[in-house]
Structure 1
Amino acid sequence: MATAYWTDETRAEPNGFWNSGHRPTLLAAFLYFDLAFMVWVLLGPLAPEIARTLALTPAEKGLMVAVPTLAGAVLRVVNGLLVDRIGPKRSGAISQIVVIAGLFTAWALGVSSFAGTLALGVVLGFAGASFAIALPLASRWYPPEHQGKAMGLAGMGNSGTVLAALFAPALAKLFGWNAVLGLACIPLALVFVAYMVMAKDAPNAPAPKSFAQYLSPLKSADAWWLMGFYAVTFGGFVGLAASLPIYFTDRFGLTTIQAGYCTAACVFAGSLVRPMGGALADAVGGVKTLTGVFVLGAMALAGVSMAGTIAAALALFVVAMLALGAGNGAVFHLVPQRFAAEIGVMTGLVGMAGGIGGFYLASSLGLARQWTGSFAPGFLIFAGLALVALAGLMLVKGRWRRNWGAVAGVRI
């Protein structure tokens, strides 16, 4: 069984969640994750304005909002390795400095070409890679029976996507979309200061490993299954968060501000239920939770492909985001049960898979729109991927319950 990262000294009440870890670090992880996610998807709410200014095609718009997710996916592996080497707090500080410096430079110099938006997307990928830092920063403080709640609360920082959807379009209308890049540096800098004051690395972190040892979890089929499941749950969440402003403006002719409000409602639903999904998985098991997630998510996305009104589409997107958000929490109930000693690198690997799923969904929706004149094929294919994930879950659930059953008090 993998070694734990907490000690009896860190817990006043072994069975009490709030007393079982380090609350300032949990809050710091949430704030860092929240603001990082806000800027990670920033190009989504700004996409309609940027596309008009730079005369982008639907495929270019899709690629523009998808690049940050792909860059974030790759960099999550780097950050996962860095977390296990120098610790999550210092890794997070480095990443935040890179993002703030990149956004400030983009604002000062201006972004005037499609290539420039792609370069900016790579910089924003560092914000998306915060996932591989914020989650182990919080997770290492908490025992197995509270992993779902701890990872869910820290991971609820994906609610930052709500902030981007709510405020970016209005600020762009007032000051221009390029100015939004500079304005974003203000809250990022404030959170950086709070992070440096509150965050603390957990005791008994694993000793540094060789590069080959870092990637050893990939020898396990369980790692690939968890990566695949997260590619659907988180990939669906972040892919929709980045693409919905484009969808609502193109499909129903909404203004950028109206599209931002609709997107915010959908994203808020998915963010809100992430800790609930983790808590539900703690209570009934990650497998049961994910089963419902994949069924409900597939049905909702298939329904979106046929939605003829804004009300129907919005309702179905909310249902889809509720399912996918709960699924994100459920997957990260399972990850630390199976890979507690490799939580840093596994968070990076699983997070990478989620980013790749988001890149696929966002870019495929743009291509579907350009090639067929409709977003429907993109939604239908992703609904099919959810059903494939469900079939895979049915294949592994028996083995997982037998092999992980030795973890006392934890439902798989």
Structure 2
Amino acid sequence: MTAPSTAPAPPSRGGRWIQQWDPEDETFWNETGEKVARRNLLFSVLSEHIGFSIWTMWSVLVLFMGPEYGLTPADKFLLTSMVTLVGAVVRVPYTFAVALFGGRNWTIVSASLLLVPTIAAFAVMKPGTSFNTFLLVGLLAGIGGGNFASSMTNINAFFPLRKKGWALGLNAGGGNIGVPVIQLIALAVIGASGGPRVLLGIYIPLILVAAVLAALYMDNLATVKNDTGAAIDSAKDGHTWIMSFLYIGTFGSFIGFSFAFGQVLQVQFGRTPLQAAYVTFIGPLLGSLIRPLGGWLADKYGGAKITLYNYVGMGAATAVLVFASMQKSLPLFVTAFVVLFVLSGLGNGSTFKMIPGIFHTKALAKGLVGDEAAAHGRRLSGASMGLIGAVGALGGVGINLAFRQSFLSNGSGTGAFITFLVYYALCFVVTWAVYLRRTAAKTETSAAAETKPQLNYAEV
């Protein structure tokens, strides 16, 4: 343990900047750090939550868009795919914005920017608007997906390694729950015979509230400095791309299914917008709520182990979906889909917990110890989270495009589900081969009298 630290110095420049921050010091953490970190986590979750709602609002708006809008199911899947794509791409610059502007400052800006797509959608949401206009306005909503990356990077810096699984899981889960919340509000609006503009009007004041609360109660960490070298180093590290591949399977599934579930129910099973809205929120809600549990289980048992078993479950649920789709069994289909949502949320928590653990393990293997190892791990894991989050979100694009092609080719989503099943099988193999198989080699060499630190990812 390092020597006891004093409380963070009072902000010495405008904008609530904290100059000293050492969460790995238990004395500092217990006396000062935890309270400040939890406060920032709370308001980070609020902003990210609304960001997710705005990002995924088109998954709800397309349910309102009946024949009078002149859009085909293929048009709607393309629209939601492009919204997901923008949300994935902007995660990269949003990750590094925290270091450039400060976590509090960027939360204020990113929350305020959500007014642009919300007001734009409010203006054009009516029959007679061209598809290209809907597509352009939908692309603006993609900025809501970037809030996740900046929020996760910011919160990662506030918490010690031993708490990251829980903190990142809670932060991401609270954000993810913005998906079912906007779907629930849409259900109420549709049930009350309200239009899409009513839904959009509800969110405009909420965005302003999130920005104001971030300004009042969040902090910037001066220790999180802009480090382009970290971005380059993390991009060169093979584990960044391996974890991106795995995160496509978990978060890509969550966000892709969140956009597509209602449309699949309408197109394949003939559900009305109200009937679809009654069930679409259940999967994203449970998947969001369970994400912190995935992080907690990863903290306790190892992220790699939880992720491995989780992919077994996702594969089994997808196999049931294939059967239900072929048999046209709506009850079985909905049940299996909800289970898949839950497992994707659990896997979101366990995979993201792996990231700081992997880079900390590599730091120890280099011979770094104590604060030096912790700082090295934080530096690379924080930079890699943006890239991993961006690539993972691209999985949502792939899912919507797979559904689009499947419905164009044979009128059902069965072909898409078979593709997803194959991908989950590959994720299982990669998780085992990279993060669990090597522990056997470590055991065989442990009897050596003198050994260098070994890479052992089983507990990450």
Matched, 1:257 2:295: no
| Range moving further from structure 2, 351-360 or 134-143 | 134-143
The structure 2 residue matched to 1:182, chosen from 201, 211, 216, is 201
Q: Shift in Å at residue 70 of structure 1?
A: 0.7
SS of the residue 1:215 aligns to: helix
Give, in whole Å, the separation in 1 of the partners of 2:313 and 2:124: 45
Structure of larger gyration radius = 2
Residue 315 of structure 1 aligns with which residue? 335
Relative distance call for 1:13 and 1:298 in structure 2 (3 A) is farther
Give, in whole Å, the separation in 2 of the partners of 1:300 and 1:375: 15
The structure 1 residue matched to 2:237, chosen from 220, 223, 235, is 220
Give, in whole Å, the separation in 1 of the partners of 2:137 and 2:147: 17
AA at the equivalent of 1:50: M
SS of the residue 2:90 aligns to: helix
Residue 24 of structure 1 aligns with which residue? 39
Contact 1:6–1:204, Cα closer than 8 Å, also in 2:
no
Matched, 1:353 2:391: yes
Residue 297 of structure 2 aligns with which residue? 280
Residue 290 of structure 1 aligns with which residue? 307
The structure 2 residue matched to 1:160, chosen from 178, 182, 202, is 178
AA at the equivalent of 1:231: I
User: Superposition RMSD on alpha carbons, in Å?
Assistant: 2.5
Contact 2:125–2:196, Cα closer than 8 Å, also in 1:
no
Q: Shift in Å at residue 149 of structure 1?
A: 0.1
Q: Shift in Å at residue 49 of structure 1?
A: 2.2
Give, in whole Å, the separation in 2 of the partners of 1:298 and 1:83: 36
Give, in whole Å, the separation in 2 of the partners of 1:21 and 1:282: 22
Superposition map of 1:2-401 within 5 A? 6=23, 8=25, 10-12=28-30, 19=34, 22-50=37-65, 52-110=67-125, 112-156=129-173, 157-172=175-190, 174-202=193-221, 204-205=223-224, 207-210=225-228, 213-307=230-324, 308-337=328-357, 338=359, 339-398=377-436
Question: TM-score by structure 2 length?
Answer: 0.82
Relative distance call for 1:291 and 1:405 in structure 2 (3 A) is same
| Greater RCO (CA < 8 Å, at least 6 residues apart) | 1
Relative distance call for 1:5 and 1:333 in structure 2 (3 A) is farther
Q: Shift in Å at residue 399 of structure 1?
A: 7.3
Question: 1:88-110 deviations in whole A, cap 9, x for unaligned?
Answer: 22222222222212311331354
Relative distance call for 1:293 and 1:13 in structure 2 (3 A) is farther
Give, in whole Å, the separation in 1 of the partners of 2:397 and 2:22: 33
Contact 1:277–1:330, Cα closer than 8 Å, also in 2:
yes
Give, in whole Å, the separation in 1 of the partners of 2:159 and 2:226: 21
Contact 1:51–1:57, Cα closer than 8 Å, also in 2:
no
**Alignment: residue pair count:** 403
Residue 374 of structure 2 aligns with which residue? none
Question: TM-score by structure 1 length?
Answer: 0.91
SS of the residue 2:159 aligns to: coil
| Range moving further from structure 2, 156-165 or 96-105 | 96-105
AA at the equivalent of 1:396: V
Q: Shift in Å at residue 166 of structure 1?
A: 1.1
AA at the equivalent of 1:25: N
Relative distance call for 1:398 and 1:299 in structure 2 (3 A) is closer
Contact 1:132–1:344, Cα closer than 8 Å, also in 2:
no
Give, in whole Å, the separation in 2 of the partners of 1:404 and 1:184: 52
Q: Shift in Å at residue 121 of structure 1?
A: 2.2
Relative distance call for 1:312 and 1:399 in structure 2 (3 A) is closer
Q: Shift in Å at residue 293 of structure 1?
A: 1.2
Relative distance call for 1:149 and 1:238 in structure 2 (3 A) is same
Contact 1:228–1:389, Cα closer than 8 Å, also in 2:
yes
Question: 1:352-397 deviations in whole A, cap 9, x for unaligned?
Answer: 1121001110121122112211111111101211111111112111
Q: Shift in Å at residue 170 of structure 1?
A: 3.7
